[in-house]
Amino acid sequence: MFYIIMKKDNLPKKLPVFPLSNFIIFPNTTVPLNIFEQRYIDMINDSMRSDKLIGMIQPKFSKNNNGETPELHKIGCMGKITSFKETKDSRYLIELKGIIRFKIISEIQSNKKYRECEINFENYYEDLGSKKENIKFSDLELIFKDLKSLFEKRGFIINWNALEKQSLNETIDALAMASPFTVEEKQVLLESKNLEIRKTKISEILTTYSFDQYNNTTLQ
Protein backbone atom coordinates (compact mmCIF):
# COMPACT_ATOMS: atom_id res chain seq x y z
CA MET A 1 0.00 0.00 0.00
CA PHE A 2 1.33 3.44 -0.89
CA TYR A 3 0.12 6.86 0.12
CA ILE A 4 -0.24 9.92 -2.09
CA ILE A 5 1.16 12.83 -0.14
CA MET A 6 -0.92 15.96 -0.55
CA LYS A 7 -0.89 19.09 1.61
CA LYS A 8 -3.91 21.20 2.55
CA ASP A 9 -2.58 24.18 0.59
CA ASN A 10 -2.43 22.09 -2.61
CA LEU A 11 -6.04 20.90 -2.50
CA PRO A 12 -8.20 22.15 -5.40
CA LYS A 13 -11.19 24.45 -4.92
CA LYS A 14 -13.12 22.88 -7.78
CA LEU A 15 -13.27 19.33 -9.07
CA PRO A 16 -14.70 17.36 -12.00
CA VAL A 17 -17.08 14.78 -10.53
CA PHE A 18 -17.97 11.30 -11.71
CA PRO A 19 -21.45 10.36 -10.39
CA LEU A 20 -21.65 6.60 -10.03
CA SER A 21 -24.54 4.96 -8.22
CA ASN A 22 -23.90 2.34 -5.54
CA PHE A 23 -20.16 2.97 -5.76
CA ILE A 24 -17.88 4.65 -3.23
CA ILE A 25 -14.17 4.92 -2.63
CA PHE A 26 -12.28 5.77 0.55
CA PRO A 27 -8.95 7.53 1.09
CA ASN A 28 -5.98 5.20 0.53
CA THR A 29 -8.01 2.62 -1.38
CA THR A 30 -7.51 1.93 -5.09
CA VAL A 31 -10.28 1.04 -7.53
CA PRO A 32 -10.29 0.14 -11.25
CA LEU A 33 -12.66 2.05 -13.52
CA ASN A 34 -13.78 1.31 -17.07
CA ILE A 35 -14.49 4.63 -18.80
CA PHE A 36 -16.57 4.44 -21.98
CA GLU A 37 -19.07 7.34 -22.04
CA GLN A 38 -17.77 10.25 -24.11
CA ARG A 39 -18.40 12.87 -21.43
CA TYR A 40 -16.28 10.93 -18.95
CA ILE A 41 -13.61 10.25 -21.54
CA ASP A 42 -13.48 14.04 -21.94
CA MET A 43 -13.22 14.38 -18.17
CA ILE A 44 -10.32 11.92 -17.96
CA ASN A 45 -8.55 13.65 -20.86
CA ASP A 46 -8.83 17.03 -19.12
CA SER A 47 -7.75 15.53 -15.81
CA MET A 48 -4.70 13.82 -17.32
CA ARG A 49 -3.61 17.15 -18.79
CA SER A 50 -3.78 18.84 -15.39
CA ASP A 51 -3.60 17.34 -11.89
CA LYS A 52 -5.08 13.86 -12.55
CA LEU A 53 -7.70 14.48 -9.85
CA ILE A 54 -11.40 13.61 -10.08
CA GLY A 55 -14.18 13.27 -7.53
CA MET A 56 -16.26 10.13 -7.11
CA ILE A 57 -19.75 10.75 -5.76
CA GLN A 58 -23.10 8.99 -5.64
CA PRO A 59 -26.11 10.52 -7.41
CA LYS A 60 -29.51 10.69 -5.78
CA PHE A 61 -32.21 8.93 -7.74
CA SER A 62 -35.93 9.31 -7.21
CA LYS A 63 -39.09 8.24 -8.99
CA ASN A 64 -39.56 11.85 -10.11
CA ASN A 65 -36.24 12.27 -11.93
CA ASN A 66 -37.88 11.68 -15.34
CA GLY A 67 -34.53 11.42 -17.06
CA GLU A 68 -33.32 14.75 -15.68
CA THR A 69 -29.81 15.28 -14.34
CA PRO A 70 -29.88 13.70 -10.87
CA GLU A 71 -29.05 15.62 -7.73
CA LEU A 72 -25.75 14.62 -6.12
CA HIS A 73 -25.04 13.56 -2.57
CA LYS A 74 -23.07 16.23 -0.75
CA ILE A 75 -20.12 14.04 0.32
CA GLY A 76 -17.76 12.24 -2.05
CA CYS A 77 -14.10 11.26 -2.25
CA MET A 78 -11.40 12.80 -4.41
CA GLY A 79 -9.02 10.41 -6.12
CA LYS A 80 -5.92 10.62 -8.27
CA ILE A 81 -5.45 8.65 -11.48
CA THR A 82 -2.46 6.39 -10.88
CA SER A 83 -2.77 4.11 -13.92
CA PHE A 84 -4.11 4.82 -17.40
CA LYS A 85 -4.59 2.61 -20.45
CA GLU A 86 -6.51 3.14 -23.68
CA THR A 87 -8.13 0.07 -25.26
CA LYS A 88 -8.46 -0.71 -28.96
CA ASP A 89 -12.16 0.24 -28.83
CA SER A 90 -11.32 3.68 -27.36
CA ARG A 91 -12.26 2.94 -23.75
CA TYR A 92 -10.07 4.06 -20.87
CA LEU A 93 -9.04 1.65 -18.13
CA ILE A 94 -7.82 3.61 -15.13
CA GLU A 95 -6.96 3.05 -11.50
CA LEU A 96 -8.04 5.71 -9.05
CA LYS A 97 -6.39 6.16 -5.67
CA GLY A 98 -8.59 7.74 -2.99
CA ILE A 99 -7.04 10.74 -1.25
CA ILE A 100 -9.54 12.76 0.78
CA ARG A 101 -13.29 13.13 1.14
CA PHE A 102 -14.95 16.39 0.18
CA LYS A 103 -18.21 18.29 0.53
CA ILE A 104 -19.92 19.92 -2.43
CA ILE A 105 -20.52 23.65 -1.96
CA SER A 106 -22.14 24.31 -5.31
CA GLU A 107 -22.24 22.98 -8.87
CA ILE A 108 -20.36 24.98 -11.50
CA GLN A 109 -22.20 25.84 -14.70
CA SER A 110 -20.05 25.37 -17.81
CA ASN A 111 -20.12 24.19 -21.41
CA LYS A 112 -18.38 20.94 -20.50
CA LYS A 113 -20.27 17.68 -20.95
CA TYR A 114 -19.30 16.45 -17.50
CA ARG A 115 -20.13 18.04 -14.15
CA GLU A 116 -17.82 20.20 -12.02
CA CYS A 117 -18.32 21.35 -8.46
CA GLU A 118 -16.89 23.84 -6.02
CA ILE A 119 -15.79 21.72 -3.09
CA ASN A 120 -14.52 21.99 0.48
CA PHE A 121 -12.29 19.58 2.44
CA GLU A 122 -12.24 21.15 5.90
CA ASN A 123 -14.11 18.35 7.69
CA TYR A 124 -11.83 15.65 6.30
CA TYR A 125 -8.24 16.85 6.65
CA GLU A 126 -7.51 13.77 8.79
CA ASP A 127 -7.87 11.69 5.60
CA LEU A 128 -4.51 13.09 4.46
CA GLY A 129 -2.67 11.30 7.28
CA SER A 130 -1.77 7.63 7.56
CA LYS A 131 -2.93 7.21 11.17
CA LYS A 132 -3.94 3.66 12.06
CA GLU A 133 -7.06 3.11 14.13
CA ASN A 134 -6.87 1.12 17.34
CA ILE A 135 -9.13 -1.74 16.28
CA LYS A 136 -8.32 -5.43 16.55
CA PHE A 137 -9.42 -8.19 14.23
CA SER A 138 -11.05 -9.85 17.22
CA ASP A 139 -13.38 -6.81 17.35
CA LEU A 140 -14.54 -7.67 13.85
CA GLU A 141 -15.23 -11.41 14.18
CA LEU A 142 -19.02 -11.06 14.35
CA ILE A 143 -19.04 -8.46 11.57
CA PHE A 144 -16.98 -10.77 9.33
CA LYS A 145 -19.29 -13.68 10.11
CA ASP A 146 -22.44 -11.71 9.23
CA LEU A 147 -20.80 -10.12 6.18
CA LYS A 148 -19.68 -13.49 4.85
CA SER A 149 -23.22 -14.79 5.19
CA LEU A 150 -24.70 -11.74 3.44
CA PHE A 151 -22.11 -11.78 0.64
CA GLU A 152 -22.71 -15.48 0.00
CA LYS A 153 -26.50 -15.04 -0.10
CA ARG A 154 -26.11 -12.22 -2.65
CA GLY A 155 -23.68 -14.25 -4.79
CA PHE A 156 -20.65 -12.05 -4.04
CA ILE A 157 -17.26 -13.75 -4.14
CA ILE A 158 -14.67 -12.33 -1.74
CA ASN A 159 -11.11 -13.51 -1.10
CA TRP A 160 -11.38 -13.41 2.70
CA ASN A 161 -7.90 -14.83 3.29
CA ALA A 162 -6.36 -12.00 1.27
CA LEU A 163 -8.49 -9.43 3.09
CA GLU A 164 -7.38 -10.60 6.50
CA LYS A 165 -3.74 -10.06 5.50
CA GLN A 166 -4.40 -6.35 4.98
CA SER A 167 -4.50 -3.63 7.62
CA LEU A 168 -7.81 -3.15 9.40
CA ASN A 169 -8.26 0.19 7.68
CA GLU A 170 -7.90 -1.41 4.26
CA THR A 171 -10.10 -4.38 5.19
CA ILE A 172 -13.04 -2.40 6.58
CA ASP A 173 -12.97 0.10 3.73
CA ALA A 174 -12.69 -2.65 1.10
CA LEU A 175 -15.69 -4.46 2.60
CA ALA A 176 -17.70 -1.24 2.78
CA MET A 177 -16.93 -0.51 -0.88
CA ALA A 178 -17.70 -4.04 -2.11
CA SER A 179 -20.72 -4.69 0.08
CA PRO A 180 -24.21 -5.35 -1.38
CA PHE A 181 -25.57 -2.47 0.69
CA THR A 182 -27.96 0.15 -0.70
CA VAL A 183 -26.86 3.54 -2.07
CA GLU A 184 -28.01 5.22 1.14
CA GLU A 185 -26.22 2.70 3.37
CA LYS A 186 -22.97 3.10 1.45
CA GLN A 187 -23.31 6.86 1.73
CA VAL A 188 -23.65 6.55 5.51
CA LEU A 189 -20.39 4.57 5.58
CA LEU A 190 -18.60 7.13 3.40
CA GLU A 191 -19.71 9.98 5.64
CA SER A 192 -18.65 8.20 8.86
CA LYS A 193 -15.96 10.37 10.42
CA ASN A 194 -13.47 7.61 11.23
CA LEU A 195 -12.88 3.87 11.10
CA GLU A 196 -14.36 3.19 14.54
CA ILE A 197 -17.64 4.83 13.57
CA ARG A 198 -17.61 3.05 10.19
CA LYS A 199 -17.17 -0.30 11.91
CA THR A 200 -20.15 0.48 14.17
CA LYS A 201 -22.29 1.57 11.22
CA ILE A 202 -21.49 -1.63 9.30
CA SER A 203 -22.57 -3.62 12.35
CA GLU A 204 -25.81 -1.63 12.62
CA ILE A 205 -26.58 -2.10 8.92
CA LEU A 206 -25.93 -5.83 9.16
CA THR A 207 -28.32 -6.04 12.13
CA THR A 208 -31.13 -4.66 9.97
CA TYR A 209 -30.39 -7.26 7.27
CA SER A 210 -30.43 -10.04 9.86
CA PHE A 211 -33.67 -8.68 11.32
CA ASP A 212 -35.32 -8.54 7.89
CA GLN A 213 -34.19 -12.08 7.14
CA TYR A 214 -35.60 -13.26 10.48
CA ASN A 215 -38.94 -11.56 9.83
CA ASN A 216 -39.17 -12.92 6.31
CA THR A 217 -38.52 -16.42 7.57
CA THR A 218 -41.13 -16.25 10.32
CA LEU A 219 -43.80 -14.75 8.08
CA GLN A 220 -43.63 -17.50 5.46
CA angle centred on 209, ends 161 and 192, rounded to 5°:
75
> For the chain, percent helix, then strand, then coil, each to nearest 5?
40, 25, 35
Ordered DSSP codes for 119-186: EE-GGGGGGGS-PPP---GGGGHHHHHHHHHHHHHTT----HHHHTTS-HHHHHHHHHHHS---HHHH
Per-residue model confidence (pLDDT) at position 169: 74
Q: How far apart are CA 116 and CA 108, in angstroms?
A: 5
Per-residue model confidence (pLDDT) at position 214: 39
Using the Cα atoms of residue 109, residue 112, residue 116 and residue 118 in order, give the sign of their dihedral: negative
Q: How far apart are CA 115 and CA 201, in angstroms?
A: 30
Mark 42-51 as b/e (b = at least 16 C-beta within 10 Å).
ebbeebeeee
Per-residue model confidence (pLDDT) at position 76: 97
Q: What length does the chain have?
A: 220
| CATH 2.30.130.40 in the chain, residue ranges | 8-128
Per-residue model confidence (pLDDT) at position 103: 97
Superfamily name and number for 8-128: LON domain-like (2.30.130.40)
Per-residue model confidence (pLDDT) at position 203: 81
φ, ψ at 28 (rounded to 5°):
70, 20
Per-residue model confidence (pLDDT) at position 209: 75
Residue type, position 1, single letter: M
DSSP β-bridge partners for residue 72: 59
Per-residue pLDDT in tens (0 to 9) along the chain, 220 residues: 555 677 888 899 999 999 998 899 999 889 999 999 999 999 999 999 999 999 999 998 755 556 678 899 999 999 999 999 999 999 999 999 999 999 999 999 999 999 999 999 999 998 987 665 555 556 666 666 667 777 777 776 666 666 666 677 777 787 788 777 888 999 999 999 888 888 888 888 887 876 554 344 322 2
